[in-house]
Structure 1
Amino acid sequence: MTLALGVLMIVQQHDGIDAYFKSRQAVATSGAGQVLRTWLLSVAAFWALLGILRMPRPTRRVRFTVTCRRMLLPLVLLLNLVVNNPISQPRFWVGTVLLSLLFSAPSMCRPRAFRVTAATLLATVLFAFPYCDYFRYDNREQVSVVMLTDQFTSNGDYDAFQQVETGIDYAREHGFAPRNVVGVLLFAVPRSLWPDKPPDTGITLARYAGYSFTNLSAPLWIESYIWAGLPAVFITFYLMGVIGRRVDGMQNRLRESQGTLAVLLVPAFAFYQMIFLRGSLLGIIGPLALTLVIPLLITAPAGTRQSSFDSRVATAIALMQPSRER
């Protein structure tokens, strides 16, 4: 299904497959509603590849299934190279895809491997992250390497401190905006149907501060603060802690059951939290919702799946047994 969706959507692109190797701007402006369709294809392709690589291997007796997997793997991998490449996709999503695939491997969950990868990731965020957005626009500026201190003080990628300060001033002057929570929850409603839909918090704060560049973040701390002050911040992060603890518990219980929903979803959600904490939510909640919903639609709990399989096997064996007269 994912391959069919990919072929259909790529053919419908204004520039076809070439649009995915020009810039993010080329994909986003190639048609009405294209952004949502592009995200749907990107997330579906990611889960298809993760499922083929990490779902439990069938027994040798099921040769047809094994053959199908071997045939589909290069096709799904090629689809991901097209729709999830760093040219047409944001940095946070490319990082989520690569790191999820990497840490879904059991060997990468060992303490030493995790420490080495975490240190590499931290160095990448500090030194290489600003230069990984080279393909955002069609008209690209010349890359100039500057000191790390200059990056922290002048680059919009490291705007968290300034945006938090601006958000406090904004809330003090304009008051809290609890309706922004509704805007995040109903992110899929187009503004043509909801003219008063709350705007992106990062853009709102940038305009309030008088910046000419409005593509800025809104860290979850200040976004939740603007909703209803410190109580909203406490409730938001308390809920994140509760959810994170339950997800970790599921992963520990299913550590040996590779391919179940919890095991596959944990690394994807873990690495997506980097952009989730950075915000703003209205800009990143769509891909997050698709990342969580798609595996729920295509998988079943391990126990249910196994019991159903065992039931079918038992039924088949019973039918093959000759009837005995008493």
Structure 2
Amino acid sequence: MLTQRLDSFDILTRLTATAIVFYFAMYFVQVSSNEIDIITVSFIILTGQSLFGCFFISKNCSLGSLYFIFSAIFFSIVPMLEYLNGVIYWTTLSFDISAYFIVNYFLIIYNFMFLFVYIYFYKELRVIKLEEFKESINFLKQRLNILFIISLIALFTKLYLVDFSIFGILFRGASTSGSITGPTKLIAETFSVYVPLIIFSIVSLSPNLSRAVKAVFFLFLLINVFPLGNPRFVVASVYIPLFIMLYPKVLLGIRFSILMIFSIVVVFPFLDKFRYIKDFSEFSLAPSFDFFFKGHFDSYQSLLRVVSENYVTWGNQLLGNLFFFIPRSIWPEKSAGSGYTLANDLNYFFSNISMNLFGEGYINFGMIGLILYSVFFLFAVFKLDSYKGQGKVVKFTTLFLFGYLVMVLRGDFLTIYSQLVSVLLYSFILFRLVSTRVKWHNKP
């Protein structure tokens, strides 16, 4: 058991962190309503499960503990407050109580299974060791010029996407849509964001390069992914891996779990203030609790809606998402993102909604799809957490997912799949480009 591997102070620290977050969650529940029904009880169970997973699933931070952070905020605390306050986003349609029951008790059973797998097989887990990553990078300095040219291309792509507006780079609300759309825009955005991250990862972890060289490539990354000029979850997917590279000890103990909760609850609301800003007269630093009821955490309600409406496409969404790169001019019937499709078919007031991984499973194959997607996610995350090989792409993917896993869970699949495929492809090409030799699947 994990508790047998922790000293008494560490256990006390984790219990204290769990109790503090749980106390504040229950405080807001009490403020929202004095009545507790069976649905509220299920949310309370989910909250307790998720917080236990956040702080006790592994000795150091893992992708599994990140899942429970997502579960605590997106599937437990915020949905519970939405339920108690009668908050439903972008439609007048209500939710069937039986849908709450199905979704919540499925998540409770799934969380128990998740906890069992991680705690029972805990001995297989390992924390990322950047020293091993550094040793596996055999950098060819002759390829530095190529990386510089690729970085310039990524910078030009970013400038093109915002119509060469400096203000558009600095502030998201001031950016424009550019002159390209569809799969081309999606590919261009992914290239401009994640190629600079991969290149800087290679350069920063290469011991034979000077600080000046590393600073130049960091500047490329900073311009392309300026924190106030990009979507919040994109910023997280870039700067969390970067932060881990600079301060790898943050993964030890529960530091990273606390940092992630703080980022979602405090930093994300602050970044949201720059989302629609046109001039500084509109800007305010004052915090607002309303942020949590503006649809930013709509992931649970998306899952609830597909279950409540029994909205199943029998693989049509999956097919269209897998072949996202085929232009709609060639395939006019190609499906859009699942969140958009659901919102459009049910006449929502707003169509740019999320669709989490579990909702994607249900929307494709019903309850069977929900189970299959959930089991696959648990298997994939645990395999990455317990990976002991030497593959650079696998190691980078694991590091990248520490910042990207919330997006993977939140969805929708069209965006996540296209970006993950692109990141894997870019990292494979770039690591092979700069290395004298590459060992992708060394077995111990």
Q: How does the TM-score come out when normalised to structure 2? A: 0.57
Q: Does 1:157 align with 2:299?
A: no
Mapped partners of 1:139, 1:102: distance in 2: 30
Alignment of 1:10-49 (within 5 A): 12=160, 14-23=163-172, 26-32=175-181, 33-49=184-200
Give yes or no for contact 2:202–2:431 (8 Å, CA) kept in 1: no
Match of 1:6 among 154, 174, 195: 154
Q: Which of 276, 288, 306 does residue 146 from structure 1 map onto?
A: 288
Indicate if the aligned counterparts of 2:199 and 2:430 stay in contact, CA closer than 8 A.
Answer: no
Matched, 1:216 2:348: no
- Please say if residues 393 and 424 of structure 2, whose CA atoms lie closer than 8 Å, have aligned partners that are also in contact: no
- The structure 2 residue matched to 1:203, chosen from 340, 353, 357, is 340
- Aligned match of 1:187: 324
Cα distance in 2, alignment partners of residues 191 and 306 from structure 1 = 38
Count of aligned pairs: 284
User: Does residue 78 in structure 1 map to residue 255 in structure 2?
Assistant: no
**Paired position in structure 2 for 1:297:** 429
Letter in 1 for 2:164: D
Partner secondary structure for residue 156 of structure 1: coil
What does 1:153-302 correspond to in 2, within 5 Å? 154-171=293-310, 175-250=312-387, 252-254=388-390, 260-300=392-432
Whether contact under 8 Å (1:167, 1:226) holds in the other structure is: yes
Q: CA deviation at 1:98?
A: 1.1
The reply on whether 1:95 has 2:236 as its aligned counterpart is yes
AA in 1 matched with 2:354: S
Offset of residue 123 of structure 1:
2.3
After TM superposition, give the deviation of residue 296 of structure 1 in Å: 1.1
Does the 8 Å CA contact 2:168/2:174 hold for their aligned counterparts? no
Q: Does the 8 Å CA contact 1:166/1:209 hold for their aligned counterparts?
A: no
Deviations 1:101-143 (A, max 9, x none): 122357426533xx12211211221234234223334647655
Q: What are the Cα deviations for residues 158-190 of structure 1, in whole angstroms up to 9, with x where unaligned?
A: 112322221113335xx4331111111111222
Deviation at 1:84, TM superposition (A): 0.7
CA contact (8 A) 2:158 2:192 kept: no
Aligned AA for 2:386? G
User: Shift of residue 74 of structure 1?
Assistant: 1.9
User: Could you say what secondary structure the match of 2:175 adopts?
Assistant: helix
Tell me the alpha carbon deviations over residues 176-227 of structure 1, each in whole angstroms, 9 at most, x when there is no partner: 3311111111112222222111122112233344432222111111111010
Q: Distance in 2 between matches of 1:35 and 1:295?
A: 18
Is the Cα–Cα contact under 8 Å of residues 52 and 73 in structure 1 kept in the other structure?
yes
| Structure 1 residue 248, shift from structure 2 partner | 2.5
Q: How far did 1:22 drift?
A: 4.0
Mapped partners of 2:245, 2:212: distance in 1: 22
Equivalent residue letter for 2:223 = V
CA deviations on 1:248-282 (whole Å, 9 max, x unpaired) are 233x445xxxx933332212023311111111112
Distance in 2 separating the partners of 1:92 and 1:110: 20
Q: Which amino acid aligns with 2:410?
A: R
Please tell me whether the aligned partners of residues 173 and 229 of structure 2 are also in contact (alpha carbons under 8 angstroms). yes
CA contact (8 A) 2:174 2:278 kept: no
Aligned residue type for 2:287: V
Measured on the aligned residues, the alpha-carbon RMSD in Å equals 3.0
Partner Cα distance (1:151, 1:12) in 2: 31
- d(CA) in 2 for partners of 1:269 and 1:10? 23
Q: Secondary structure at the match of 2:310?
A: helix
Name the CA shift for 1:31/1:87 in 2 (closer, same or farther; >3 Å): farther
| Structure 1 match to 2:262 | 123
CA distance in 2, matches of 1:217, 1:7: 28
Gaps of 5+ in 2: 1-148, 440-444
Q: Are the structure 2 counterparts of residues 35 and 239 from structure 1 closer, same or farther at C-alpha, using a change threshold of 3 Å?
A: closer
Change (3 A) 1:295 1:237: same
Q: Secondary structure at the match of 1:73?
A: helix
Measured in 1, the distance between the counterparts of 2:301 and 2:159 equals 43
SS of 1:104's equivalent in the other structure is helix
Task: Identify which range, 127-136 or 45-54, moves more after superposition.
Answer: 127-136
Task: Measure the CA separation in 2 of the matches of 1:183 and 1:306.
Answer: 34
Percent sequence identity over matched residues? 20
Gap change, CA 1:263 and 1:72, over 3 Å in 2: same
Verify the 8 A CA contact 1:201 1:218 in the aligned structure 2: yes
After TM superposition, the score normalised by the length of structure 1 is 0.75
Q: 1:235 is aligned with what amino acid? A: L
Question: Which is higher, the Rg of structure 1 or of structure 2?
Answer: 1
1:310 corresponding residue in structure 2: none
Indicate how the Cα distance of structure 1 residues 287 and 211 shifts in structure 2: closer, same or farther if over 3 A, else same.
same
| Deviation for aligned residue 1:90 | 1.4
